[in-house]
């Protein structure tokens, strides 16, 4: 398809979102116009089906060498978690674009895949293998002790000073509750009780569905693993470090604790 100059498109390049330099981070979840691309090579626009018959999501997947218009910038789609509006379309678009890029070839016979005509899937025209978008379940949990303190941790991949919650991927054959207990034990050496599911959030970095839990401290001393977690501490509600963005499920869980909703 040729370049569309109407608003309503997400532009991705590699693992980044491409936006005009003047757009603040709080607005990057909003689709944009491609008018600035008019003098550049034509773009192919992929319309990703909406969930449950909802409106389609128009996306462009730029090649790594594709030149950007003047005064445009690349940002991480993660910044969308700090947006002041719904980020579902942005995250869905990013998830599907990444999956399509990585599913060009059949995982069984290596032949080039094609798009399924009636559903969001890739089909091998040689062996018939069908591949659907990958979704990987992962837990994230707020741990509260008897003094109503919450355990917050600094991951090695975080920016300096940022603390969040314990998180990790679900293993094959493992319940989500068992994942919560295991990840806490492995990363900070604690035992917990009263594990309770709270809320989920799509988190395509990559392909995750974050499942938010709360848990009560049951025993042990904080002992970080030194592999993923560099520091972990009990925090009072009135003395907190830098926290994740307001749109993230981690911040949602922390705010529930701060308002007394998890007591």
The predicted pLDDT at position 2 comes to 34
Residue 54 clears pLDDT 80, i.e. is over it: yes
**Residue 4 counted as domain residue:** no
Give the span between the Cα atoms of 173 and 214, in whole angstroms. 22
The predicted pLDDT at position 249 comes to 94
The reply to whether 127 and 209 lie within a common domain is: no
The reply to whether 175 and 215 lie within a common domain is: yes
Residue 1 clears pLDDT 60, i.e. is over it: no
Count the domains in the chain. 3
Provide the token pair at 232: 């972990």
Q: pLDDT band at residue 29, thresholds of 50, 70 and 90? A: confident
The predicted pLDDT at position 7 comes to 55
The reply to whether 112 and 201 lie within a common domain is: no
Residue 3 clears pLDDT 60, i.e. is over it: no
**Residue 155 counted as domain residue:** yes
- Annotate 44-61 with b (16+ C-beta within 10 A) or e (fewer): ebbebeeeeeeeebbbbb
The reply to whether 71 and 148 lie within a common domain is: no
**Residue 142 counted as domain residue:** yes
The candidate with the shortest Cα–Cα distance to 62, out of 90, 92, 87, 34, is 34
Give the number of other CB atoms < 10 A from CB of residue 251. 17
**Residue 196 counted as domain residue:** yes
Domain of residue 168, CATH code = 3.90.79.10
Cα separations in angstroms, 64 against 14, 15, 43, 77, 90 = 6, 10, 13, 16, 20
The reply to whether 181 and 81 lie within a common domain is: no
The reply to whether 89 and 37 lie within a common domain is: yes
Provide the token pair at 259: 């308002």
The reply to whether 53 and 155 lie within a common domain is: no
Burial class (CB in 10 A: 0-12, 13-18, 19+), 187: buried
Give the span between the Cα atoms of 31 and 10, in whole angstroms. 5
Q: pLDDT band at residue 259, thresholds of 50, 70 and 90? A: very high
**Residue 1 counted as domain residue:** no
The reply to whether 111 and 194 lie within a common domain is: no
The reply to whether 177 and 232 lie within a common domain is: yes
**Residue 233 counted as domain residue:** yes
The candidate with the shortest Cα–Cα distance to 213, out of 258, 180, 244, is 180
**Residue 85 counted as domain residue:** yes
The reply to whether 115 and 141 lie within a common domain is: no
The candidate with the shortest Cα–Cα distance to 206, out of 107, 11, 76, is 76
The reply to whether 53 and 94 lie within a common domain is: yes
Report the DSSP pairing between strands 208-219 and 136-144.
Answer: parallel
Mean pLDDT of 226-246: 95
The predicted pLDDT at position 84 comes to 65
The reply to whether 165 and 184 lie within a common domain is: yes
- Kindly write down the DSSP assignment for every residue of 90-109, as one continuous string: HHHHHHHHHHHHHTSB-TTT
pLDDT single digits (tens) 63-98: 999 989 889 999 999 887 766 667 889 999 999 999
**Residue 126 counted as domain residue:** yes
Residue 124 clears pLDDT 70, i.e. is over it: yes
Q: Domain range spanning residue 202?
A: 136-258
pLDDT single digits (tens) 173-197: 999 999 999 999 999 999 999 999 9
Q: pLDDT band at residue 19, thresholds of 50, 70 and 90? A: very high
pTM: 0.88
């Amino acid at each position: 398809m040729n370049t569309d100059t109407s608003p309503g498109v997400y532009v991705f390049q590699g693992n980044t979102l491409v936006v005009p330099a003047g757009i603040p981070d709080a607005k990057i979840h909003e689709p944009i116009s491609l008018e600035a691309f008019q003098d550049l090579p034509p773009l192919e626009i992929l319309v990703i089906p909406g969930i449950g018959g909802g409106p389609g999501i128009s996306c462009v997947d730029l090649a790594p060498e594709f030149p950007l218009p003047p005064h445009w910038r690349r940002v991480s789609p993660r910044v969308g978690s700090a947006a002041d509006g719904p980020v579902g379309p942005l995250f869905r678009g990013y998830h599907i674009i990444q999956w399509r890029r990585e599913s060009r070839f059949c995982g069984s016979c290596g032949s080039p895949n094609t798009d399924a005509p009636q559903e969001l899937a890739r089909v091998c025209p040689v062996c018939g293998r069908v591949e659907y978008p990958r979704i990987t379940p992962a837990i994230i949990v707020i741990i509260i002790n008897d003094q109503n303190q919450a355990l917050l941790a600094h991951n090695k991949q975080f920016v300096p000073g940022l603390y969040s919650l314990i998180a990790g991927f679900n293993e094959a054959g493992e319940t989500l509750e068992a994942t919560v207990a295991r990840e806490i034990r492995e990363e900070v050496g604690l035992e917990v009780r009263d594990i309770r599911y709270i809320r989920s959030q799509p988190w395509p970095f990559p392909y995750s569905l974050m499942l938010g839990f709360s848990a009560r401290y049951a025993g042990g001393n904080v002992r970080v693993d030194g592999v993923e977690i560099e520091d972990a501490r009990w925090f009072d509600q009135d003395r907190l470090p830098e926290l994740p963005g307001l749109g993230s499920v981690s911040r949602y869980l922390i705010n529930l604790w701060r308002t007394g909703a998890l007591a």
